[in-house]
Amino acid sequence: MMSKKWLTIAAFGFMPFIGLAVSAQESVRKEARPTLAVKDLPRLFDPKKLDDPKAAAAAIAQLENAFQGKRQPEAVRMLIAILNDSYAGADSGWFGPAQTRYTWKWLAEHGGVEPGKGISRSKLRGPDEWFKLLDRNKDGLITANDLDWSDRNPEVQMMQMAGRVFRKLNAGGNGRLTKDELLKFFEQAAKGKEFLSPDEFRDALMGGMSGSFGPGDAPTRAMLIRGLYDGELGSMSEGPQLEERAPDFTLKSVNGKETVQLSKVIGQKPVVLVLGNFTCGPFRGLYSGVEGMYYRYNKDVDFVMVYVREAHPTDGWKMESNTRVGVAVKQPTTLEERKAVAGQFCERLKTTMPFVVDEIDDPVGHAYSAMPGRFYVIDRAGKVAYKSGRGPFGFRIGEMEQALVMAILEHRTADTK
């Protein structure tokens, strides 16, 4: 049997090796850290200098080297996408894609079918309207393709084009296309004739459109980078990830009479959190659809709209498409100014859901990485079940509604167990 003396000597003899092992582990942890912090981006990368292609290429190389072998924060992915001129798509580093608990695998398990098979009406526990929503191509069977909202999906591509056509025809810019607007378009395009040929219709509809932007709307690279740094087009914050707890907040309504605290809303029903602003044209264009969801689901789901920082103020990335529909505001510098612009939003878009305004230093906008707009579905435990891509190219209102329906299905199933 070894004596206490020898045990003590042996223990001290091993201590240098233990110390070396701990030191090595700490070294690995230190080496795993990025060599650049997100907060340093504005200091290191001057928007004025990055319009130069060589400077942009050097910045990309520096960013990629700094995060080599590590997950790039969203702000870094956004900056790289801007420098690569690859920002105008929902699957790119800037805008998306969405994060969702409610995948095809989840729905197949809920319906009791193998993932390789489709879900018939009899397998879905819910009303006919839900089945029709999930069966996006209306072939009578829900399949993985019906839940695919990526840019490569042909149906999604057609929806994107339909959205652009809608915004062109919706001269009022309020997301409600009227008969008078359609007639006005026809009269201007037909120029006194009783009909339009396919070529005439195409030229009238597509005239002035270039890539992802209308005439007078395309930004410079420096403008986009400043928008990211200023929190108009993005945020230096990540926002909550899928299955993480939704950050709490307490905000007041436009008139200051109502207060909403998110933690007091969460619990009884899933929550849809809508974050957006007046000067984001695509957000205005789809907002009536969000109101439609509120009308259809408010018995089963709580909705909260948070008004955030302007995306396209006249003293920032000004959009001529906004000017043409009478939307022209400077970036508010006080809470009262922001409330005034939010009031214009409410009046013009006929809001009915609970509506609150973020503080002027954008705590909620940054906490949810919400600028210029984003959608969340939060479950009854307060965890993020769906996080949309960043607007405007990451907006998928149909995707959010599918996630919302599956959230209701999930909680109804839990209540029956």
DSSP letter at 14? H
Rounded to the nearest 10 degrees, the angle between the axes of helix 281-297 and helix 335-349 is 70
CA dihedral sign, ordered 211, 215, 221, 227? negative
- Give the start-end residues of each E strand in 26-126: 99-100
Token pair for residue 264? Answer: 């007091």
Residue among 174, 173, 206, 177 nearest 189 (CA):
206
Question: Looking up tokens 């990830």, which residue turns up?
Answer: 241
Token pair for residue 268? Answer: 């009884």
φ, ψ at 179 (rounded to 5°)? -60, -40
- In angstroms, the CA 97 to CA 150 distance is 7
φ, ψ at 385 (rounded to 5°)? -100, -20
In this predicted structure, what is the pLDDT of residue 393?
79
Q: What angle do CA 201, 207, 213 make, to 5 degrees?
A: 130
- In angstroms, the CA 35 to CA 414 distance is 45
Question: Looking up tokens 């819910």, which residue turns up?
Answer: 126
In this predicted structure, what is the pLDDT of residue 94?
61
In this predicted structure, what is the pLDDT of residue 116?
85
In this predicted structure, what is the pLDDT of residue 326?
93
φ, ψ at 231 (rounded to 5°)? 80, 20
In this predicted structure, what is the pLDDT of residue 346?
97
pTM: 0.86
Please list the ranges in the chain whose pLDDT falls under 50: 1-31
Q: Mean pLDDT, the chain, as a whole number?
A: 88
> DSSP for 331-349?
PP-SHHHHHHHHHHHHHHH
Report helix, strand or coil for 196.
coil
- Residue 79 near residue 41 (C-beta atoms within 8 A): yes
Measured torsion, CA atoms of residues 285, 395, 321, 305, in degrees rounded to the nearest 10: 60
What are the C-alpha distances in Å from 240 to residues 5, 42, 290? 55, 23, 22
Q: How far is CA 300 from the centre of its chain?
A: 23
Cis peptide before 73 (omega within 30 of 0): no
φ, ψ at 328 (rounded to 5°)? -150, 100
Instruction: Give the residues across from 303 on adjacent strands.
Output: 272
In this predicted structure, what is the pLDDT of residue 211?
60
